[in-house]
Structure formats: C-alpha cells, structure tokens
Amino acid sequence: FEKEYIRKDGTRLPVSITCWQVEKRKGKPPKYCTFVRDISERKQAEEKIKESEERYRTMIENSNDWIWTLDTQGNFTFINHQAEIISGAKSNNHKGKSFAPFIHQDDLEIVNEAFQRTISGEQQHYTVRVYGKRGEMFFLSVNTAPIYERGKIVGTVSFGTDITEHIQLEEERSKAAKLESIGVLAGGIAHDFNNILTAILGNISLAKMSLEDSKKVLEILTEAEKASLNAKDLTHQLLTFSKGGEPAV
C-alpha cells in the first residue's frame, strides 16, 4: 500500500509499503518484514502526466475545430465540445455509435475510404459535408491520423475545420465571374445586333418614302419597322445588363 509521511521540515514523503510475515511460532507473536520505498519520483512523474493530460484536454475542449475519435469499427469514442455544439451530438450519448448519420450521403464513400486508409496507418486529408443539429449543412476540412496503443492501431483521431463561409464565398465569386462573362458576351451580341438593326431600319425608311402610293406594302413595312424597334429595345436592355445594370422587363 501507499502512504505519505511528514518530514521534519514539513515536506511530504510519499512511500510504498510492502509487508509480509517471515516467522510465526506457537505462543509467540508473528514477526514481519516491512519494506518502505521512496516513490517521490514516480509521484512527480504521475503528476506531470496528469497536468499534461489536463492541459491537452482543456485545449481540445476549447478548440474552435471539431475534434473526434473513432474505434476501428468507425464508432465514436469521443466528441469535443465544439463538435457537440454544432452537431447536437453528445459525447456520452454517441459513444459506440457510427459517424455515418452525420455525413452527407454523397460524401460517405470518400469518408469511408479515408477511414479505411487511416486504420491501415496512413494520415488522410479530405473535405466533407456534415449535418448540423438543425439539419443545416457545414463544410469541414478534415485531417485524420491513426491512434496507436503499444504499437497497435486502436482507432483514429480527426480534426475538422469549418470552411463553410470560405466555400460560400468561393461560390459567390464563381457566380460573379460567370455573370461577368455573360455580360461581356451580351454586350458584344447587342452591339453587333444593334448595327444590323440600324441598317434594316434605315432601309425600311427609304422603302416607305419610295412606296407612299402602295398602301399594302406601306402597312407591311410599318409592321417590320415596329418589330425592328422592339428588337432595338431588346439590344438596349442587353447593353444595360452587360454594364452591370438591371434590364427592364
């Protein structure tokens, strides 16, 4: 058993005491041998380990990253506080349960492949979509590594950084670039089309002046002129759009 003694200077001395019987005679009290060993160094080492574990536990629980561990079957063994807040999962409630329900169906194959590679000894990096507690979607950039005990892989540890805002920003930039390209194209088409319509309208006007006595032809040319004017208005809207404005409908 273990015990602490107080030295003369008031400091504590942790010891390990081993006691065994060495002699027992009838009618006489038994004799014992007692071995007292100073375990100060061992206790100091244990205290340092405890402090280190507490420090890392605090870092993990207060990290902005999602951190979780899985066993070799892909079941949760730990979920940190940040992952609990966003996903709604509780570490105690989800121990022994699969990670699959939290993963977007289209990403399950990627995650399963990364998991299999990790428990084979390879570190992995991938991007995955996961569900929040209200069903909302998050994008995580995940780094995964194997967990070893006595040289044997017993599970995986994963660190997931939320990159949802970054992904959304990239999508908005992509949309803006596409709209800009469409605008350039629309501007080019409108410019060329406008030149053609100008020539058509000019020729119609000349034809109308030359055929004032022909009522039927004049009506046809007038209708053609109206259609051309409508087309000219459309090209004006295309030009407005190409310059970043909103075309009128």
Band (pLDDT 50/70/90 cuts) for residue 195 is confident
Domain total in the chain:
3
Q: In this structure, are 10 and 79 located in the same domain?
A: no
Q: In this structure, are 155 and 76 located in the same domain?
A: yes
Cα-Cα-Cα-Cα torsion 203, 204, 208, 209, nearest 10 degrees, comes to -30
CB-hemisphere CA count at 13 Å for 241?
Answer: 22
Query: Which pLDDT belongs to residue 243?
Result: 62
Is 184 within a domain? yes
Range of the domain at 38: 2-52
Model pLDDT for residues 151-194, shown as the tens digit of each residue: 999 999 999 999 988 888 887 887 777 777 776 766 666 676 77
CA distance 3 to 235: 94
CA angle 92, 95, 101 (to 5 degrees): 110
Residues 238-248: what's their mean pLDDT?
A: 58
Query: Which pLDDT belongs to residue 22?
Result: 76
Cα-Cα-Cα-Cα torsion 98, 100, 102, 104, nearest 10 degrees, comes to 180
Q: In this structure, are 100 and 158 located in the same domain?
A: yes
Length of the chain: 249
Q: In this structure, are 133 and 189 located in the same domain?
A: no
Is 226 within a domain? yes
Is 248 within a domain? no
Q: In this structure, are 7 and 68 located in the same domain?
A: no
Quote the mean pLDDT of the chain: 80
Q: Is the pLDDT of residue 235 over 70?
A: no
CA distance 249 to 232: 14
Closest by CA position to 102, among listed 122, 83, 116: 83
Contact in structure between 62 and 79 (CB atoms under 8 Å) = no
Query: Which pLDDT belongs to residue 247?
Result: 47
Is 27 within a domain? yes
CA distance 131 to 109: 16
128 beta partners: 140
CA distance 97 to 74: 8
Token duo for residue 127: 């991007």
Domain boundary among 105, 129, 162: 162
Domain boundary among 135, 162, 189: 162
Q: In this structure, are 132 and 41 located in the same domain?
A: no
Task: Tell me the whole-structure pTM to 2 decimals.
Answer: 0.56
Is 35 within a domain? yes
Is 169 within a domain? no
Which residue in this structure is represented by tokens 């994008």?
139
Q: In this structure, are 48 and 71 located in the same domain?
A: no
Domain boundary among 96, 127, 162: 162
Q: In this structure, are 68 and 140 located in the same domain?
A: yes
Query: Which pLDDT belongs to residue 74?
Result: 92
CA distance 146 to 158: 9
Token duo for residue 39: 């375990």
| CATH code of 92's domain | 3.30.450.20
Query: Which pLDDT belongs to residue 89?
Result: 65
Q: In this structure, are 132 and 69 located in the same domain?
A: yes
Band (pLDDT 50/70/90 cuts) for residue 54 is confident
Is 219 within a domain? yes
Residue with the larger pLDDT of the pair 57 and 247:
57
Is 249 within a domain? no
Query: Which pLDDT belongs to residue 48?
Result: 81
Which residue in this structure is represented by tokens 């950084």?
161
Query: Which pLDDT belongs to residue 92?
Result: 65
Q: In this structure, are 191 and 216 located in the same domain?
A: yes
Q: In this structure, are 140 and 207 located in the same domain?
A: no
Residues 133-161: what's their mean pLDDT?
A: 92
Model pLDDT for residues 198-234, shown as the tens digit of each residue: 767 776 676 667 665 566 666 666 777 776 777 777 6
Contact in structure between 48 and 37 (CB atoms under 8 Å) = no
Report how far apart, in Å, the C-alpha atoms of 37 and of each of 6, 43, 45, 46, 154 are.
Answer: 15, 12, 16, 16, 36
Query: Which pLDDT belongs to residue 143?
Result: 95
Q: Is the pLDDT of residue 117 over 90?
A: yes
Residues 64-80: what's their mean pLDDT?
A: 90
Band (pLDDT 50/70/90 cuts) for residue 196 is low
Query: Which pLDDT belongs to residue 174?
Result: 76
Contact in structure between 160 and 141 (CB atoms under 8 Å) = yes
Q: In this structure, are 146 and 85 located in the same domain?
A: yes
Query: Which pLDDT belongs to residue 28?
Result: 80
First to last CA, the chain: 90
137 beta partners: 131
